[in-house]
């Protein structure tokens, strides 16, 4: 078998302006992710460690060290060499979730970003040197943003706008906790990851469908602000009527129109 990569790259020219990725089927029948780079390509397993290695039988070095930490208890510590190995492994997962994001495989992005967030927490808890803790944890806002994006995009594909907004809010709160931990609360405006999520939330909020009850609730808030109390009372009555019409009947089950909508 030829070891020349040129036949594999034929027709897949490198584009420095974008991320080029694809899914191929390997010789063993399993799916692989390939990422085009300047001098060739990177190939990654979709499941397990991206390079397919199993350190001492564990799925990853992180799992190996976590097992050692459980056995050693308070005596466990990560040396600078341990941290260097874990960083190298974490970068593998970074390449894979970046590729998965461009493939719109948001389930894989959510999985691998959650894994790297777990890595950061483990290192900051057990690294023997403060500089190693910071070397990992400084990436937390970015990975937290990508995690929130992946979960929110999955919700948007289901047209579940409340769930998407909830995931964005969870990511925003996590980044704000990070800033608070490092006494950087006054630098929110300089945190690009936080500002991205806040802007994205506004965009989704502006285009999401609004139901009749929610629209009336918005009108009610405006009426109260303007002290238009008669108008506010009228809107409250409309809201009560709409909510009553959507309530299940006393005998249980749903009204016929809900069953019809649910079965279509």
Domain boundaries, the chain: 210-247
* Cα dihedral sign, 115-118-120-122: negative
Reduced to 3 states (helix: H, G, I; strand: E, B; else coil), residue 104 is: coil
In the chain, pLDDT over 70 holds for what percent of residues? Answer: 91
For the chain, percent helix, then strand, then coil, each to nearest 5?
Answer: 65, 10, 25
pLDDT digits (tens, 9 = 90+) for 179-238: 999 999 999 999 999 999 999 999 998 887 767 767 777 678 888 888 888 888 988 888
- Strand-pair partners of 96: none
The model's pTM is 0.79
Q: Whole-angstrom Cα distance, residue 16 to residue 108?
A: 24
Residue 247 binned pLDDT confidence (cut-offs 50, 70, 90): low
- In degrees and rounded to multiples of 5, residue 4 shows phi and psi of -75, 125
In the sheet that holds 40-45, the strands lie side by side as 21-25, 31-37, 40-45
Q: Mean pLDDT across the stretch 10-15?
A: 88
DSSP for 214-263 reads HHHHHHHHHHHHTT-HHHHHHHHHHHHHHHHHHSPPTTSS--HHHHHHHH
């Amino acid at each position: 078998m030829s070891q020349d990569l040129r036949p594999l790259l034929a027709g897949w020219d490198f584009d420095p302006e974008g991320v080029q990725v694809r899914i191929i089927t390997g010789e063993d029948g399993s799916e692989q992710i390939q990422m085009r780079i300047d001098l060739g390509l990177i190939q990654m397993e979709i499941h397990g460690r991206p390079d397919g290695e199993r350190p001492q039988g564990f799925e990853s070095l992180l799992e190996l060290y976590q097992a050692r930490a459980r056995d050693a208890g308070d005596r466990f510590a990560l040396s600078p060499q341990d941290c260097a190995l874990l960083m190298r492994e974490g970068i593998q997962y970074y390449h894979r979730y970046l590729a998965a994001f461009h493939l719109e495989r948001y389930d894989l992005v959510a999985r691998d970003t959650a894994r790297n967030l777990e890595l950061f927490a483990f290192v900051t808890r057990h690294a023997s040197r403060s500089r190693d803790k910071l070397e990992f944890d400084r990436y937390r806002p970015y990975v937290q943003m990508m995690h929130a994006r992946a979960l929110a995009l999955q919700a948007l594909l289901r047209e579940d706008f409340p769930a998407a907004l909830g995931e964005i809010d969870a990511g925003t709160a996590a980044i704000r906790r990070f800033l608070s931990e490092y006494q950087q609360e006054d630098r929110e405006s300089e945190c690009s990851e936080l500002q991205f999520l806040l802007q994205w939330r506004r965009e989704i909020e502006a285009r999401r469908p609004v139901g009749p009850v929610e629209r009336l609730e918005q009108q009610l808030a405006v009426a109260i602000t303007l002290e238009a109390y008669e108008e506010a009372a009228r809107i409250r009555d409309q809201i009560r009527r709409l909510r009553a019409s959507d309530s299940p009947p006393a005998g249980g089950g749903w009204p016929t129109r809900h069953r019809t909508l649910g079965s279509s």
